[in-house]
Amino acid sequence: MAITKPFLASRKFSATAGAGTGVGAAYAILATSFLNDTGTPATAFPASFAYYVLYINGVIQTEDTSSVTTTAITIPDGDTLDPATPILVEFIVS
């Protein structure tokens, strides 16, 4: 019997911390504030994905650092970051 590998791909989105709004636990960056893999403005994050990885200033963050929907990523206390801090979200889709 042949082994069938699952299909996995990634979708990357980039922005800066200054693109977010709100304070404290309500700090969020809208999906439309991000650029996608092709460098064009995103319209939404993937609706279905296996998992996602958040990078803040190039450092992988733990699972409790954020939550995500198709319209935004919430980063509690993200408003304390320097506005120029790069934010990258990578979704692994199948």
Domain residue spans of the chain: 9-93
pLDDT digit string, tens, across residues 13-44: 999 999 999 999 999 999 999 999 999 999 99
Question: Does the pLDDT of residue 7 top 90, yes or no?
Answer: no
- Give the torsion through C-alpha atoms of 37, 31, 58, 91, to 10 deg: -60
- pLDDT at 5 > cutoff 70: no
5 Cβ contact partners less than 8 Å away, ≥ 6 residues apart:
none
Question: Is this prediction's pTM over 0.85?
Answer: yes
38-60 tens-digit pLDDT: 999 999 999 999 999 999 999 99
